[in-house]
Amino acid sequence: MEAWTQSEQYQKVAEANREYYAKTAQLYDASETCVTNAQIQQQLENDLDQIVALLNYPSQQLHALDACGGTGNVALKLLRRGLNVTISDISETQLAIFQQKCAAENFNVETLKGEIATLLIGDANHYDLIVFSSALHHLENISGVLSLAFERLKPGGLLFTVFDPTITSNHHKVTKLVLSCDYLLFKVLDQTSDLPFAVARRLRRTMEKIFHPTSQGKQALQLNEETLGVLAEYHVDRGIDDFALVEQLKQIGFEVVWHLRFPGGRYRLTRWIVGLFKDATQFKLLLRKLDR
C-alpha cells in the first residue's frame, strides 16, 4: 500500500469533527436516530449477531475495533456479546460519555483518542472485526482510511460499515423533499434546543452561496463556527458513491460479503415513502479481508 498522506482538506475536516462533537456530543447521544430509534437498533443487533457468527470463533477470542465509535453505539453491543473491544474517536467528549456507560455495566475497554488514520497507522494490533458506524460520511478520504483499516485486519477478518448515505443526485425529487421534511421534523421533535441555531446556520449558508458563489464547494470553506457542521458531515449532502467505493475496496483485497442498499430516514413514515419510490438512500457493507 502507498504511504498515507493527509491532505490539508483531510486535516481540516478531521478538526471540524473534533470541534463539532466537543459541542454536540450530549445532544447526539440523546437524540441521534441511529443511536436511539428502537427499530434501527434492533436491525443493528441482528446485523451484529450475523457478523459475529460469520467470524466462527468464541466471542471471547475475538478482538474488535469500533472505529470513530463515538459514544459506543456499536462497542457496547459487542461488549455485551463477550468480545474484546477497542474503541477510537476524535472526540474526547464522546469517549467520556462512552466510558460512563461502560462504568455502569462494569466493562473495561481500551479507548484510543485521536484522528482515525493516525491511530490506524500507529496501532500494532490486528483485529477480527473493524466497524465504521455512521462514520464514513465524516471522512474526507474514505477509501484511504479503509485501506489503512485493511492493514489492521487479520486475514479473514471482517469490516462492517453502516448508516451512510448514497449519492443524493440519483434520488427522486419526492425523496429529496421527504428527506428535507424528515430533517426539519427531527429538529422540531428531537433536537428542539438546536432548532433556532440550525435555521440560522441554514440561512447564513444560503446567503453565502447567493452573494459569494464559488465552484470549489467545501474545498473553499474556512474552518469556523459557521462551517463546523458542514465540514464535519462532509459527504452527507452529496452522499457517497457506494458502488465506486466497493470497486476500490475490491482492488485493495476485500471480498464483498454484503452490499445492501435500502430506504433510509429518521422516521418509519419517511422510510415507507422513500421505499414507495424505490429509492435506496442508505447503504451498509460487510467486507472480508481475503486470506492470501
Q: What are 104-129's pLDDT values in tens digits?
A: 999 989 999 999 999 999 999 999 99
- The mean pLDDT value for 198-219 works out to 63
CB atoms within 10 A of CB 183: 16
| Contact call for residues 289 and 154 (beta carbons, < 8 A) | yes
The residue ranking higher by pLDDT, 204 or 167, is 167
The residue ranking higher by pLDDT, 213 or 186, is 186
**What does pLDDT average to over the chain?**
92
What residue type is assigned to position 268 of the chain?
R
pLDDT-based confidence at residue 54 (cuts at 50, 70, 90): very high
The whole-number pLDDT of residue 291 equals 76
How many Å is the maximal CA-CA distance in the chain?
A: 60
| Contact call for residues 265 and 44 (beta carbons, < 8 A) | no
The whole-number pLDDT of residue 37 equals 93
Ordered by where they begin, the domains of the chain are 8-169+235-289 (3.40.50.150)
The whole-number pLDDT of residue 75 equals 98
Using the predicted structure, report yes or no on whether residue 292 has a pLDDT greater than 70.
Answer: no
For the entire predicted model, the pTM comes to 0.93
The whole-number pLDDT of residue 2 equals 53
What is the distance between the terminal CA atoms of the chain, rounded to a whole angstrom? Answer: 15
